[in-house]
Amino acid sequence: MRFPEGFLWGAATAAFQVEGATTADGRGRSIWDEFCEVPGAVVGGHTGEPAADHYRRFDEDVRLMADLGLQAYRFSVAWPRVRPDGGLVNKAGLDFYDRLVDRLLAAGIEPWPTLYHWDLPQPLEERGGWAARATPYRFADFAASTAEALGDRVRHWTTLNEPWCSAFLGYAAGVHAPGRRDPRAAVAAVHHLLLGHGLAAEVIRAASARAEVGITLNLYPVIPADPDDPADVDAARRVDGLQNRIFLEPLFHGRYPDDVVEDLAPYGFTAHVRDGDLDAVAAPLDRLGVNYYAEHHVSGRPGPAVAGSPWVGAEHVTFPGRGLPRTDMGWEVEPSGLTEVLLRVHRDYPPIPLYVTENGAAYRDAVAPDGAVRDPERLGYLESHLRAAHAAIEAGADLRGYFAWSLMDNFEWAEGYAKRFGIVHVDYATQVRTPKMSAMWYSQVAKDNALATVVAP
């Protein structure tokens, strides 16, 4: 099962999840540093220190990527390192990414930086965070300084990673930083994140004529539990509107969906949309990143109220399971959903190159006495989802690359260090890296540009 010529094979991480060094070289505090100190917010009371110590061990990690034959590395730039309080540039922090980019290019690995993977500087949150209209403009300042420093060598830029999580998990559910439970702030954050994307895209292109700019969305099929039940069908409409269409429609068509606007009217959503905003949001994209982990099967039948639900305007929606295998995160494994979301973008929106920018699974694995890490479940997950990605290509989707999540075990947000997504095992006590069986298999896939048929025991 071969992939198209030139298909890009990579792996992904995020700054707060792997870098550690949270006080090094002038780095300021982020909303995640603050959130980790809230009792009970993070499993085990863990923090982003030392994570995978990537800040100090990036040379070793780049050599590891090269040994695995990865062609691209998707990482994020920590805003608190570059502009610690949202104001002046911290050159020492920016220099880290300068060195990282140089090492990657020297190893033949294409750098794919993401400018925002959820680590807002805490001083900006104290001034309102993403619920405040000033924040998108401070994000554009951060984007400009980063692109000016790296744009001579970096071509592939991503503005935001999963703005749904930033807005709804951070400001409505309160289960991610900054831990707020304010539906009005959440819907304001949706628009301000998208505005920040548009403003950042403009300054990136101004800084580098060779820049290609994209955004990454976590897109999921949303399916009514009973397609003949009007309550389930309407629940699916509402959740699809909040998960997918509230981002896709303004990015590609310069408007928010009418039904979503109506659903969010009680929360003052449209008050945040000013003249010219949607023109900035809908500036042409060079590509779209798609993160996929599971389908959403939803029901509108009465169920217990969910305290701090992320589904603003759809708080009583329930998510019945279907008895499928689950990952260690409790997410059902449904590879066909990846085919569906890729084909949906291909079918419903203007032509655009697509990349799977995150896809992977957490499972419990450990280093065996012989030094190996055998993770057949993760390998099977990746293999089945690559088959699903290939099916989307065969059906016409312009899919040009795939990034496994994650390169290495890391700090998994509210789960702390309890969940392992990496294709490389990290011993957090010693920081020893051990490529897992899935990493060796994925390395062969990248080398062959085709699914490997032989797996080492």
The CATH number that applies at residue 321 is: 3.20.20.80
Residue 453 in domain? no
Instruction: Identify the pLDDT of residue 227.
Output: 96
Give dist(CA 362, CA 53) in Å, integer. Answer: 20
The mean pLDDT of 408-422, rounded to a whole number, is 98
Residue 281 in domain? yes
Q: Tell me, yes or no, if the pTM score tops 0.85.
A: yes
Given pLDDT bands bounded at 50, 70 and 90, which one contains residue 294?
very high
The mean pLDDT of 242-253, rounded to a whole number, is 98
Helix, strand, coil distribution of the chain in percent, nearest 5: 45, 15, 40
Range of the domain at 386: 8-448
CB atoms within 10 A of CB 284: 11
Percent of all residues in the chain with a pLDDT value above 70, rounded to a whole number: 97
Please pick, among 125, 358, 383, 412, the residue that the annotation labels catalytic: 358
Burial 248-270 (b: 16+ CB within 10 A, else e): bbbbbeeebbeebeebbeebebe
Residue 54 in domain? yes
**Mean pLDDT across the chain, nearest whole number?**
96
Rounded to a whole number, what is the distance in angstroms from the first to the last CA of the chain? 22
The mean pLDDT of 43-71, rounded to a whole number, is 98
Given pLDDT bands bounded at 50, 70 and 90, which one contains residue 302?
low
Instruction: Identify the pLDDT of residue 180.
Output: 97
Please pick, among 110, 125, 162, 340, the residue that the annotation labels catalytic: 162
214 has which bridge partners? 158, 287
pLDDT at 456 over 50: no
Residue 93 in domain? yes
Given pLDDT bands bounded at 50, 70 and 90, which one contains residue 346?
very high
Is 340 noted as a catalytic residue in this protein? Answer: no
The mean pLDDT of 314-326, rounded to a whole number, is 86
pLDDT at 155 over 50: yes
Instruction: Identify the pLDDT of residue 47.
Output: 97
Is 358 noted as a catalytic residue in this protein? Answer: yes
Give dist(CA 439, CA 100) in Å, integer. Answer: 22
Residue 454 in domain? no
The mean pLDDT of 145-164, rounded to a whole number, is 98
Burial 387-400 (b: 16+ CB within 10 A, else e): ebbbbbbeeebbbb
Residue 184 in domain? yes
Residue 187 in domain? yes
Residue 351 in domain? yes
Give dist(CA 276, CA 274) in Å, integer. Answer: 6
pLDDT at 275 over 50: yes
The mean pLDDT of 298-310, rounded to a whole number, is 72
Instruction: Identify the pLDDT of residue 318.
Output: 84
How many CA atoms lie less than 13 Å away from 21 in the CB half-sphere? 20
> What is the residue whose two structure tokens read 């032989």?
454
Given pLDDT bands bounded at 50, 70 and 90, which one contains residue 453?
low
166 in Cβ contact with 181 (< 8 Å): no
Least confident of 171-185, 337-351, 442-456: 442-456
Give dist(CA 156, CA 286) in Å, integer. Answer: 9
Instruction: Name the residue with higher pLDDT: 454 or 402.
Output: 402
Indicate the number of domains in the chain.
1
